Amino acid sequence: MTRLRLATANIAHGRGRRGRVDLRRTAQLLARLDADVLCLQEVDRHWSARSAWADQAAELATGLAMTVVYGPAVRAAPLAPGDPPREYGNAVLSRSPILAHRVVGLPVPPRAEPRCLLLAQIEGGFTVGCVHLQHNSAAARTRQAAAVAQAVAGADPLVLAGDFNAEPGQPELAALTARLTDGWTAAGSGGGRTFPARLPMRRLDQILVSSGVRVSRSAVVRTDASDHRPVVVDLEIGAG
């Protein structure tokens, strides 16, 4: 049985509650979580001046001494020939080697922001999915959840984490919760509410687990480094 800590965080490209982008502050928050695996959403990669054209996934991984894989949800042409493509999406960071990964594009309404699922196979025999669902359409979330469920159908043990933009029990997540279990176990702590960070009213950031994964502890962490609060869980992989 493998024991580890996993966290999910929508980092809002390093933009804090007061609107200032500071990736060092984000890195300090993530270090404080002391997670073995991190699932991050809204990560810039050479995206624009708002994040100083940085490869935020690589910089965070280097600072935390972790391995990283990246899943671009949005990709745009570089501003100049020879520059890397401009990307925005999800990242998975791990202290253990990541053996393989793939990116699954999700259905979106016309003219809506593209969304994706990033799947990473972690050494130790389990899969982590990092996802960010549509923020302004329950119908789109329903289609996206169904696509995610299909993509992870053969992955077991599985941990699926991210910003679902829906609270637990909402009908649009039914395709996921038909097989996966809510990883929130702790009493108190505001009931696990994560958004908005200053005074959370909704539990949008979630961690779901398959059979063979047991959650022994969960917590929401206060922060002013993003508009979402991270969720942290202690897991036992291979638990009966």
Q: What is the mean pLDDT of residues 165-175?
A: 97
Residue 238: pLDDT band with limits 50, 70, 90: confident
Residue 185: pLDDT band with limits 50, 70, 90: confident
The most distant pair of C-alpha atoms in the chain lies apart, rounded to whole Å, by 54
Residue 82 pLDDT: 84
Residue 167 pLDDT: 96
Residue 187: pLDDT band with limits 50, 70, 90: low
What the block records as the tokens of 41 is 């959403």
Residue 115 pLDDT: 98
Of 78-92, 109-123, 184-198, minimum mean pLDDT range:
184-198
Residue 121 pLDDT: 97
**Nearest by Cα to 154 from 187, 129, 174:** 129
Give the list of residues 6+ apart from residue 20 with CB closer than 8 angstroms, or none: none
The whole-chain average pLDDT of the chain stands at 94
- Over residues 124-161, the pLDDT tens digits come to 999 999 999 999 999 999 999 999 999 999 889 999 99
Give the list of residues 6+ apart from residue 46 with CB closer than 8 angstroms, or none: 53, 54, 55, 78, 83, 84, 85, 86, 87
Residue 30: pLDDT band with limits 50, 70, 90: very high
Q: What is the mean pLDDT of residues 68-97?
A: 94
Q: Which helix (H) or strand (E) holds 73?
A: strand 67-76
Of 18-32, 92-106, 177-191, 209-223, minimum mean pLDDT range:
177-191
For residues 195 and 201, is the Cβ–Cβ distance under 8 A? yes
Cα within 13 Å of Cα(228), Cβ side: 25
Q: What is the mean pLDDT of residues 82-96?
A: 95
Residue 217 pLDDT: 93
- Over residues 38-66, the pLDDT tens digits come to 999 999 999 999 999 999 999 999 999 99
Residue 17 pLDDT: 81
Q: Name the percent of the chain lying above pLDDT 90.
A: 89
Quote the CA–CA distance of 225 and 229 in Å, as a whole number.
Answer: 9
Residue 79 pLDDT: 84
Residue 206 pLDDT: 97
